[in-house]
């Protein structure tokens, strides 16, 4: 059985009724275990080419910031989105720079939790229509998934510390626990314990996107991290916790996020304003050259 046929067979286990009403059932552990055993999601995207129309190397790796905590990972011929929000809402400053084709090329979309700046309903509806991507999301996104009409056969449940094999047995996505913070760094009173971050291991590179979370002991147990997305906001790892995490993980590339995306007000500054400049200044000299503040829509070449 080919990898693609095996993945489609296992993913079909999700579509018990063929309707979104069954979405809540797919987060059951027994079904998740079956889906998590699926391997080899085949990439439908055509051969990717650079701006000079030159075919991209199969071992290429780049990250593109889509604003807030959103990223487009281009890994060889694979396109992965994390927490994409490309809606020009009233609170969004601008969509300038974001590539027009970032949604249509998506092969997999990873969502960390159901807040609108991470699970953006409008963006998800576009993804459903414009791509054939699979959605990896935790049980905390169950209701949002139903409301936006994600087909059950396109959902892969995310369970903490249970690796999901996607693009072959050497490519895994592992959901990492996340505990959402709130004002002044306190744990958010309505946090959902199912929320997660993601450890993405592909092409011999480990990337960690923590989602919205305060610093956790689980972060100390992570393997060697090459690429770290960090959120130095009041409701996430602020400056102090970010410094601790960076020192502990010793990543080769550090990208501050959750910044410069929405209009800041007194009421929302605890999550819209990031202290990324202060974090950069506080970093040990050995980390300063690894700290990259990219523009919205900018593609940063890892290799």
Q: Is 73 helix (H, G, I), strand (E, B) or coil?
A: strand
- The tally of CA atoms less than 13 A away on the side-chain side of residue 192 is 17
- Give me 215's structure tokens: 């610093």
Instruction: List 136's β-bridge partners, or say none.
Output: 110, 156
Please write the tens of the pLDDT for every residue from 177-219.
Answer: 999 999 999 999 999 999 999 999 999 999 999 999 999 999 9
d(CA 119, CA 137): 9
Residue 91: count of CB within 10 angstroms of its CB: 14
Q: What is the pLDDT along the chain (303 residues), one digit of tens a residue?
A: 443 333 333 333 332 223 334 445 677 643 344 344 333 454 444 445 444 444 455 889 999 999 999 999 999 999 999 999 999 989 999 999 999 999 999 999 999 999 999 999 999 999 999 999 999 999 999 999 999 999 999 999 999 999 999 887 679 999 999 999 999 999 999 999 999 999 999 999 999 999 999 999 999 999 999 999 999 999 999 999 999 999 999 999 999 999 999 999 999 999 999 999 999 999 999 999 999 999 999 999 999
d(CA 215, CA 111): 19
Distances (CA, A) of 248 to 108, 198, 228: 29, 17, 11
- The residue extents of the domains of the chain are 3-301
- Could you tell me where the DSSP H helices lie in the chain? 3-11, 29-36, 121-130, 142-148, 217-220, 239-249, 269-272, 276-282, 285-288
DSSP string, 158-211: --TT--EE-SSTT-EEEEEE---B-GGGPBPTT--TT-EEEEEEETTEEEEE--
CA-based end-to-end distance of the chain: 33
**To which CATH superfamily is domain 3-301 assigned?**
Ribonuclease Z/Hydroxyacylglutathione hydrolase-like (3.60.15.10)
Instruction: List 196's β-bridge partners, or say none.
Output: 177
Q: What pTM was computed for the model?
A: 0.86
d(CA 237, CA 189): 17
State the greatest distance between any 2 C-alpha atoms of the chain, in Å, as a whole number. 57
Please write the tens of the pLDDT for every residue from 217-256.
Answer: 999 999 999 999 999 999 999 999 999 999 999 999 999 9
d(CA 232, CA 275): 5
d(CA 13, CA 51): 40
d(CA 184, CA 163): 33
Phi and psi at residue 20, to the nearest 5°: -70, -15
């Amino acid at each position: 059985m080919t990898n693609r046929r095996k993945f489609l067979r296992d993913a079909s286990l999700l579509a018990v009724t063929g309707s979104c009403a069954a979405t809540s059932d797919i987060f059951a552990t027994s079904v998740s275990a079956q889906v998590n055993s699926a391997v080899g999601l085949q990439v439908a995207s055509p051969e990717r080419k650079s701006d000079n129309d030159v075919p991209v190397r199969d071992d290429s790796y780049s990250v593109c910031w889509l604003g807030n905590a959103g990223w487009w990972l281009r890994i060889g011929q694979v396109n992965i989105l994390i927490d994409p929000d490309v809606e020009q809402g009233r609170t969004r400053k601008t969509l300038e720079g974001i590539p027009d084709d970032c949604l249509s090329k998506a092969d997999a979309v990873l969502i960390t939790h159901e807040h609108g700046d991470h699970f953006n309903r409008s963006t998800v509806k576009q993804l459903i229509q414009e791509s054939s991507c699979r959605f990896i999301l935790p049980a905390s996104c169950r209701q949002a998934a139903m409301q936006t009409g994600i087909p059950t056969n396109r959902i892969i449940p995310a369970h903490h510390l249970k690796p999901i094999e996607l693009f072959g047995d050497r490519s895994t996505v592992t959901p990492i626990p996340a505990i959402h913070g709130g004002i002044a760094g306190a744990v958010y009173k309505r946090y959902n314990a199912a929320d997660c971050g993601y450890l993405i291991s592909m092409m011999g590179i480990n990337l960690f996107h923590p989602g919205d979370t305060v610093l956790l002991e689980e972060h100390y147990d992570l393997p060697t991290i090459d690429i770290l997305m960090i959120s130095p906001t009041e409701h996430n790892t602020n400056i102090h916790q970010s410094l601790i995490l960076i020192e502990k993980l010793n990543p080769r590339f550090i990208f501050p996020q959750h910044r410069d995306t929405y209009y800041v007000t007194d009421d929302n500054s605890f999550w819209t304003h990031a202290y990324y400049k202060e974090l950069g200044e506080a970093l040990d000299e050995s980390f300063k050259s690894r700290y990259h503040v990219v523009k919205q829509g900018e593609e940063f070449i890892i290799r």
